[in-house]
Chain A
Amino acid sequence: MITLTDQAFDPGALLTAFCQGRSETGAVATFTGLARAEAGAAATLELEAYPGFTEARIGEIAAQARTRFALDDFSIVHRVGRIAPGEAIVFVATAARHRRAAFEACDFLMDYLKSRAPFWKKETGPDGARWIEPRDQDHADIARWETPQ
């Protein structure tokens, strides 16, 4: 399931709900991304999405992960709007029969969400506002999945 929300969420509650009612899933892996304060430089983070398009693109990324790692299920929750330091921005959970697939799918999904999902992130602090763009590291992270195994 893919959810965009402008409300703060509780990653623990999401994990509990995700694990319920599974009898054949042997492994659930999760990742939670939090907004950093950057030592006071980032008072707020603002995330913009393109309604409809953003969900559709994340759906394509998730469909790739589901096939590649034979996932039983996944959950992606992503904040939009204003986010305070310390709040969760993103929650990804993956369910598979065995742990390796769950771990790798979670890693794969986060790498693609970082630089391929249609979000735009603006950090505002005492020195003004700046738009955050993918770093070289983010591109290198994606490249790991695109080189032939």
Chain B
Amino acid sequence: MARVLLFGRLSDVAGWRERELECPTLSALRTQLSQEDAGLAEALAAPGVQVALDQVLVRGDAALQPRSEVAFLPPMSGG
């Protein structure tokens, strides 16, 4: 099971912050999340949303391991 984390506006849209999901790849995970929740699908596809796999930013697809941590990160704003 991969651990899925949502940050910022994404967790407000989805109504959850953390879930465990069984998915072989990042793209399969996106598809599953998007099919379950159209609002979240739109929010994940918004410009500037980045993905971190085991705390490293990734672009494109990647294989998920049983204990992978996948974080969806909307545009960042500190300071």
Contacts and interface: CB of A to CB of B under 8 A. Distances in A.
Contacts of B52: 50, 53
A33 interface: yes
A72 to B, nearest CB: 23
Interface residues on A, range: 20 to 34
A90 B77 CA distance: 12
B76 A118 contact: yes
Interface in B16-67: 48, 52, 55
A130 to B, nearest CB: 9
B7 A50 contact: yes
A131 interface: yes
Interface in A115-137: 115-122, 129, 131-134
Interface of A: 33, 47-48, 50, 52-53, 56, 78, 89-90, 110, 113-122, 129, 131-134, 138
